[in-house]
Amino acid sequence: MTGRAKAPAASGADPRAWVITGARPLGGEPADFLLSDGVIAEIGAGCDGGAEPGARLLDADGLILLPGLVDLHAHLREPGREDAETVASGTAAAALGGYTAVHAMANTDPVADTAGVVEQIWRLGQQAGRCDVQPVGAVTVGLAGSRLAELGAMADSAARVRIFSDDGRCVSDAVLMRRALEYVKAFDGVIAQHAQEPRLTEGAQVNEGEISGRLGLAGWPAVAEEAIIARDCLLAAHVGSALHVCHVSTAGSVEIIRSAKAKGWRVTAEVTPHHLLLTDELAASYDPIFKVNPPLRTAADVAALREGLADGTIDCVATDHAPHSPEDKETEWAAAVFGMTGLETALRVVHAAMVETGLLDWAGVADRMSARPAAIGRLDGHGSGDRGTEHRGTGRGAGGHGAGGHGAGDHGAGDHGAGDHGAGDHGAGPRGIGRHGCLLTPGSPANLVLYDPAPREAVDPAAHASKSRNTPFAGMVLPGQVVATFLRGRPTVLDGKLAR
């Protein structure tokens, strides 16, 4: 039976070796994979693990093999709101969604603005063991937007923080944003901005447009996001620093980022699964399950976001997984908190929004959900496995490397050369394997996900491992299912269920 793990020989509960047969790497031709000692030891037809006594067999006939997914943006709520999520439950959700690494946002209580707190979160991730947890550090003390947190201390800590963000709040002060962008150059950091002009969004509830007017809910104009992104791109260019734009949600934002990349500026961007699939029409129910920051936008914005992700303007998909307790959501719209869960549905949503529409092939999905986020997050052993590959200036007409102060050798001139993405990703599988060969090559860390594209089932929140149920996709029929996830050769998910 497909996807069913078997033990061909006597073996312990946690064998050191796995043989995966018939998997289609990046959706390409089927191959067999031997995982041993945490790495992909061998690839080819008929590697039956005979050389590895005790190896377990996983029949992956028809399943797509992708590198383990990497999320740049998740709220794991610990410490502070363990009723909504913990590192343990959040990483379980991540594993079930096919993720092998997640970045934990800093808006915990206490805020992750010191080396002590980021190390605590990092250790909780290590204990949970299902998924690497990379803490994001706050840019400003207490997310208050008034003075810089000790970014260097967080970078030098055991958590090795490289992404800094006040996510949930915007670093709206232009001087503070400039200083943050400049300061993190010393340790190859990146500032991930939650782009929301605060004065333009006071009390804002839904995208400003036809829907906000009809529903009588305070409007959240696109310009509130776009003005900050434009300013930050200019600041990043001015000081030669790396900017990452969180959860891009408007067509105008895509245009601004496209133009910044065309100039060779060091700007990367992410889009959430929900902004790729849902529109502000859903607010007409006044059900706060659809209340999110930034808000759901129009169908035209969704189309532009999909196009931007396809052509590489938007580098990656990030979930902005934001679990909330029922009492924070089962209220009037204006009284409810912002946010949606996303880790357990992200790949299926991207499948529906990008693959079924022909905008990305599976190699493209691997790039946008694994290789690029790993590169932006400077993660070892995830995605490309090629640390330091910063996909700056990818996409249309990119001039390659920006004017940063980094050695050229630091930027993966090999497999991920600038301009290599974009339209080229529409190629068929085998070509994708070649280009992304480092992802699934012998010797690479065995961070993998096996995905069955065939099923079509309604999303059932009750089956989620997240402690929270605030998924906007509840009841929606989506394609696909994550069958197995491997973290350094060890299964965290088997048969679609948590391993161990």
Partner 1 sequence: MNRHLISAADLSRADALLILDTADELAQVADRPIRKLPTLRGRTVVNLFYEDSTRTRISFEAAAKRLSADVINFSAKGSSVAKGESLKDTALTLEAMGADAVVIRHPASGAPHRLARWVRGSVVNAGDGTHEHPTQALLDAFTMRRRLGRLDGLRVTIVGDVLHSRVARSNMLLLHTLGAEVTLVAPPTLLPVAVGGWPCSVGYDLSAALPKSDVVMMLRVQQERMSAAYFPSVREYSRRYGLDADRVALLPEHAIVMHPGPMNRGVEIAAEVADSARSTIVEQVANGVSVRMAVLYLLLGGSEAQQ
| Annotated catalytic residue within 320, 328, 386, 452 | 320
Instruction: In angstroms, give the least distance from the CB of 194 to partner 1.
Output: 23
Q: Which stretch binds partner 1 (CB under 8 A): 57-65, 111-119, 218-226, 481-489?
A: 218-226
Q: In which residue are the tokens 């991930």 written?
A: 192
- By CB under 8 A, is residue 61 in contact with partner 1? no
Tell me whether residue 374 is exposed, middle or buried, using C-beta atoms within 10 angstroms of its C-beta: 0 to 12, 13 to 18, 19 or more: buried
Phi, psi dihedral angles at 279 (to 5 degrees): -125, 170
Nearer to partner 1 (CB atom), residue 218 or residue 498:
218
Nearer to partner 1 (CB atom), residue 126 or residue 285:
285
Tell me, yes or no, if 367 is annotated catalytic: no
Nearer to partner 1 (CB atom), residue 203 or residue 407:
203
Pairing of strands 490-494, 17-25: unpaired
Q: Please give the structure tokens belonging to residue 131.
A: 């998924």
> How many positions of this chain bind partner 1 (CB under 8 A)?
22
Give residues with Cβ within 8 angstroms of 463, minimum separation 6. none
Nearer to partner 1 (CB atom), residue 218 or residue 476:
218
- By CB under 8 A, is residue 90 in contact with partner 1? no
Instruction: In angstroms, give the least distance from the CB of 210 to partner 1.
Output: 4
| Other Cβ atoms within 10 Å of 114 Cβ, number | 18
Nearer to partner 1 (CB atom), residue 14 or residue 327:
327
Instruction: In angstroms, give the least distance from the CB of 223 to partner 1.
Output: 10
At residue 499's C-alpha, the angle toward residues 493 and 500, to 5°, is 165
Quote the CA–CA distance of 185 and 173 in Å, as a whole number: 19
| Other Cβ atoms within 10 Å of 309 Cβ, number | 28
Nearer to partner 1 (CB atom), residue 214 or residue 497:
214
- By CB under 8 A, is residue 286 in contact with partner 1? yes
Residue among 193, 271, 191, 182 nearest 230 (CA): 193
- By CB under 8 A, is residue 201 in contact with partner 1? no
- By CB under 8 A, is residue 210 in contact with partner 1? yes
Quote the CA–CA distance of 213 and 182 in Å, as a whole number: 41
- By CB under 8 A, is residue 187 in contact with partner 1? no
- By CB under 8 A, is residue 212 in contact with partner 1? yes
Instruction: In angstroms, give the least distance from the CB of 202 to partner 1.
Output: 9
Site for partner 1 in 294-353 (CB under 8 A): 327, 330-335
- By CB under 8 A, is residue 218 in contact with partner 1? yes
Instruction: In angstroms, give the least distance from the CB of 182 to partner 1.
Output: 35
Nearer to partner 1 (CB atom), residue 328 or residue 425:
328
Instruction: In angstroms, give the least distance from the CB of 201 to partner 1.
Output: 14
Mapped onto helix, strand or coil, the DSSP state of residue 498 is strand
Helices (H), 199-293: 210-215, 222-239, 251-262, 273-277
Contacting residue, 43, 200, 215, 474, with partner 1 by CB under 8 A: 215
Give residues with Cβ within 8 angstroms of 58, minimum separation 6. 3, 4, 5, 6, 18, 19, 20, 21, 450, 484, 494
Residue among 25, 474, 6 nearest 285 (CA): 474
Contact mark string toward partner 1, 359..398, x via CB under 8 A: ----------------------------------------
Instruction: In angstroms, give the least distance from the CB of 329 to partner 1.
Output: 10
Count how many Cα atoms sit within 13 Å of the Cα of residue 492 in the half-sphere of its side chain.
31
Quote the CA–CA distance of 354 and 458 in Å, as a whole number: 18
- Type of residue numbered 275: H
Phi, psi dihedral angles at 311 (to 5 degrees): -90, 0
Contacting residue, 80, 110, 213, 397, with partner 1 by CB under 8 A: 213
Site for partner 1 in 219-258 (CB under 8 A): 219, 221
Quote the CA–CA distance of 342 and 329 in Å, as a whole number: 16
- By CB under 8 A, is residue 156 in contact with partner 1? no
Q: Name the site residues for partner 1 (rule: CB under 8 A).
A: 208-210, 212-219, 221, 285-287, 327, 330-335
Q: Which residues are catalytic?
A: 320
